[in-house]
Structure 1
Amino acid sequence: GARVTVIMGELGGHRSPARTHTPLVGAEVVIEAGSTVTLPVRPGFEHGLLPLDTPVRAHGHRVVPGSLLYLGTGRDHIEFHATERTHLLVIGGEPFAEDLVMWWNFVGRDHDEIVRARADWEEQREGHDRGEGFRFDPVRADGGAALPAPDLPNARLRARPRHRGA
């Protein structure tokens, strides 16, 4: 009732040829209408599920396209049910051990790392190379100029806690 393509990492004994630098997994899953599918996953990974075209049910949750269902760690499988043909992505990896700051397209450990990343982005976008090479790879498929990073907020960015109370 499904076709699974491992895009990166390893899933269910199948390994993608894509090179990764950290333990993670990404898979494209196409589920046929009316099918229930069980996908084996690594319990030490946290996982997310992203429907691309139609809703899907997973572990008691209805997930619509454009929404990401966070499944956390400790699962050895993910079970899906599709009432209509569904195309989705499953992503996962080892959880970060520390809190992270996420702002625009940047991820860092604190406010100052985000400030440095933004400055590096803007210097590179404007064509300034400090002789150290570029930090960010260009997006070649687009062909247009890199987007300018928005102005930072008028406050210090704080890490979002990894775990929240109920």
Structure 2
Amino acid sequence: MEKLARLLARLDDVVLKATLVVCGSLLTAMVAVAALGVFCRFVLHASLSWSEEFDSYLFVWLTCLGAAAGVKLRAHPEVRVIPDRLPTLARAVVGDFTDAAIAVLGAILVVYGSDMITLMGAETASSLPISMVYPYLSIPVGGALLIWHSLVRIAVGHLAPGARDASVAGAGFVPEHI
């Protein structure tokens, strides 16, 4: 079981690293598009009709993927007053409950995000010749990543608690307060 837990933890780390690469690329593209829009507007005196809309779609993707990465890295704010005072077993139950709640939230995002894709599939962006499927696709993808990271954390925690220490979360990618 420990081999399976370590394999899951490594696969989870690969998913995280890929997500972070995509997030970095999205952020770079956002900065480049915003800079291009500003340059064209104020230097060339010819505004780009699409730059702000495109940036907002990139930002939606960055937010959805970044939220999932934050779950994996435990970078989201959390109140630890009660769990830190509980016995080890109760603390583990609270952790599993929290991860299960995050997985349920991810499932809600997958279901309703998929519905939004179905509803908006025939629509196109107002200033770009792209289908609205692409911006809305970020919702179920982010939700699926929330489910993945939460379920892997639960599984690894039960199969081999020591395997968590060998993952990215134990390798210095997490803020010190965690």
The TM tier, using the shorter chain, reads under 0.3
State the TM-score, normalizing by the size of structure 2. 0.21
More strand by share: 1
Normalising by structure 1, we get a TM-score of 0.22
**Larger proportion of helix:** 2
Q: Which has the higher contact order (CA 8 A, sep 6+)?
A: 2
